[in-house]
C-alpha cells in the first residue's frame, strides 16, 4: 500500500476498464444477496534514499505488505487487524536503519433495507512508532501506513442520495469512491489526506447496481511520501496514535434528513418525506391543534400557506416544492394562550 501505488490504483479505478475489472473480486453468493462486502486490514512501509549517489533504502527485516484475512459478507459487522514490523537500511551506510512498528484494528458495519444498502460505518484506530538509528542524519525518507480497506457492490431500487461523513485525526487518509459499472461513471469521489477533519459529501444514485472499488481509512507515521505531505520528520523516534472513521446513509429521494426540530412538533406533524411526484408536502395537525391561533408555513424561507384556528386531524398541503434543491419546511405558530412555537425539518432533493 505504498502511496505511489495507491495513487495509481485510485486513478485506475476511475477509468472505464478499471471499473469493469473491479467487479471480478465479488464473492459468489445467493441471487438475493444485493450487498456484498470484502473487508481487510493492511499495512506497509516505504523508504527512499535522499542523499547523493545511486543508493537505496531497502527492506531488510519484516514482512512486505502484511494483510489480515478477508471478511466477505452482506450485512452485519466484521473486524480485522494487522501488525507492522519493518526495518529499512541504507545501502550507503549500514548503520542508517529505520524501524517501523505498529498495530491497527478496524471494523466495517453494513446495514440493509429491503435488500438494498441502507448505511455503513468503517473505522480504524492504531498506534505506530518509527525509530531512526541516526535521527536527523538519516538519509532514508521513511513512512509507515496502516489501514482498513474494503470493496463493495450494492443495489438501490429507489432513487436517492448517499451521504458520506468523514471524521479523521492528523496524519490520516480517507478514500471512498462510488461508481456505476454499467455507465462507467464515478458518482461520488471522496479523497482526503491531511490533518484532523470533519466533512460530508453526497452523491445522487438512480436505481441500479453500484460498485465501491476503493474504500479505505488510513493512518501514517514518519516522513510522508507520494501524495502525503512530508511530516516534520527527522526525529529519532516518532509515535502516532490515531482513530478515524467514515459513516454513510442512503436517503430515498424526498425523504427527511432527520427528525423534526422545535416545540411546534407537538401541534403539527411534519411528514417523513415530501411527494416527489406531486412536488408537495402534507402536514397534519395533532390533538393539541386547538391551542393554536394562527400558523404560517415556509419552504426554504418562502411562505407557502397560512392557517387560522386549525382543527385536530386536518392537514395542510404545501405545493410547488423544488425537485432539485433541498427543501426545509418551517412551521411558525402563534398560540391562543400567548406565546409562539416553531419547528422545522429538512428533506433531500428529489433529483440529482
For the stretch 99-152, pLDDT in tens is 999 999 999 999 999 999 999 999 999 999 999 999 989 999 999 999 999 999
The pLDDT, as a whole number, for residue 242 is: 72
Q: For residues 202 and 183, state if they share a domain.
A: yes
Measure the CA–CA gap between 190 and 192, rounded to whole angstroms. Answer: 7
Question: Could you tell me if residue 166 is inside a domain?
Answer: yes
Q: For residues 319 and 270, state if they share a domain.
A: yes
Measure the CA–CA gap between 125 and 104, rounded to whole angstroms. Answer: 6
Q: For residues 155 and 198, state if they share a domain.
A: yes
Residue after which a domain boundary falls, among 192, 224, 252: 252
Residue in 78, 75, 80, 74 with CA at minimum distance from that of residue 28: 74
308-334 pLDDT, tens digit per residue, is 999 999 999 999 999 999 999 999 999
Q: For residues 245 and 291, state if they share a domain.
A: no
222-239 pLDDT, tens digit per residue, is 886 444 444 445 567 777
Q: For residues 185 and 56, state if they share a domain.
A: yes
Q: For residues 46 and 170, state if they share a domain.
A: yes
The pLDDT, as a whole number, for residue 49 is: 95
Q: For residues 216 and 139, state if they share a domain.
A: yes
Q: For residues 321 and 238, state if they share a domain.
A: no
CATH of the domain at 295: 2.60.40.10
Judged on CB neighbours under 10 Å (0-12, 13-18, 19+), 229 is exposed
Q: Rounded mean pLDDT of 247-274?
A: 97
Instruction: Read off the pLDDT band of 172 (50, 70, 90).
Output: confident
Residue after which a domain boundary falls, among 228, 252, 276: 252
Question: Could you tell me if residue 102 is inside a domain?
Answer: yes
Question: Could you tell me if residue 113 is inside a domain?
Answer: yes
Higher pLDDT, 180 or 228: 180
Residue after which a domain boundary falls, among 201, 228, 252: 252
Q: For residues 142 and 271, state if they share a domain.
A: no
Query: Is residue 16 within a helix (H) or strand (E), and if so which, with residue range?
Result: helix 16-21
What are the φ and ψ backbone dihedral angles of 31, each rounded to 5 degrees?
Answer: -60, -25
Residue in 118, 189, 223, 120 with CA at minimum distance from that of residue 160: 118
What is the total count of domains within the chain?
A: 2
Mean residue pLDDT of the chain comes to 88
Domain of 298, in residue numbers = 263-347
Question: Could you tell me if residue 74 is inside a domain?
Answer: yes
Amino acid at each position: 500500500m505504498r502511496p505511489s501505488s495507491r495513487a495509481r490504483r485510485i486513478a485506475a479505478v476511475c477509468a472505464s476498464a478499471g471499473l469493469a475489472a473491479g467487479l471480478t473480486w465479488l464473492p459468489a453468493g445467493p441471487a438475493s444477496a444485493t450487498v456484498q462486502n470484502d473487508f481487510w486490514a493492511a499495512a506497509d512501509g516505504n523508504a527512499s534514499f535522499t542523499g547523493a549517489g545511486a543508493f537505496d533504502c531497502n527492506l531488510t527485516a519484516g514482512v512486505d505488505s502484511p494483510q489480515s484475512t478477508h471478511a466477505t459478507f452482506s450485512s452485519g459487522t466484521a473486524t480485522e487487524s494487522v501488525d507492522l514490523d519493518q526495518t529499512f537500511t541504507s545501502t550507503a551506510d549500514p548503520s542508517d536503519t529505520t524501524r517501523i512498528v505498529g498495530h491497527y484494528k478496524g471494523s466495517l458495519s453494513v446495514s440493509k433495507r429491503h435488500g438494498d444498502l441502507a448505511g455503513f460505518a468503517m473505522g480504524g484506530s492504531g498506534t505506530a512508532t518509527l525509530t531512526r538509528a541516526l535521527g536527523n542524519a538519516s538519509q532514508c525518507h521513511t513512512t509507515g501506513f496502516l489501514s482498513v480497506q474494503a470493496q463493495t457492490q450494492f443495489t438501490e431500487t429507489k432513487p436517492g442520495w448517499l451521504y458520506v461523513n468523514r471524521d479523521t485525526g492528523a496524519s490520516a487518509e480517507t478514500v471512498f469512491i462510488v461508481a456505476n459499472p454499467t455507465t462507467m461513471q464515478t458518482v461520488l469521489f471522496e479523497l482526503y489526506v491531511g490533518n484532523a477533519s470533519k466533512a460530508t459529501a453526497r452523491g445522487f444514485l438512480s436505481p441500479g447496481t453500484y460498485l465501491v472499488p476503493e474504500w479505505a481509512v488510513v493512518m501514517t507515521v514518519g516522513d510522508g511520501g507520494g501524495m502525503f505531505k512530508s511530516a516534520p520528520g527527522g526525529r529519532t523516534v516518532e509515535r502516532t496514535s490515531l482513530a478515524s472513521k467514515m459513516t454513510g446513509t442512503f436517503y430515498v429521494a424526498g425523504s427527511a434528513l432527520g427528525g423534526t426540530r422545535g416545540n411546534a412538533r407537538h401541534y403539527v406533524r411534519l411528514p417523513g418525506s415530501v411527494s416527489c411526484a406531486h412536488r408537495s408536502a402534507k402536514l397534519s395537525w395533532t390533538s393539541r391543534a386547538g391551542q393554536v391561533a394562527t400558523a404560517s408555513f415556509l419552504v426554504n424561507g418562502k411562505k407557502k400557506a397560512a392557517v387560522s384556528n386549525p382543527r385536530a386531524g386536518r392537514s395542510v398541503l404545501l405545493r410547488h416544492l423544488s425537485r432539485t434543491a433541498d427543501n426545509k419546511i418551517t412551521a411558525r405558530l402563534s398560540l391562543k394562550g400567548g406565546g409562539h412555537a416553531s419547528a422545522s425539518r429538512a428533506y433531500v432533493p428529489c433529483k440529482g
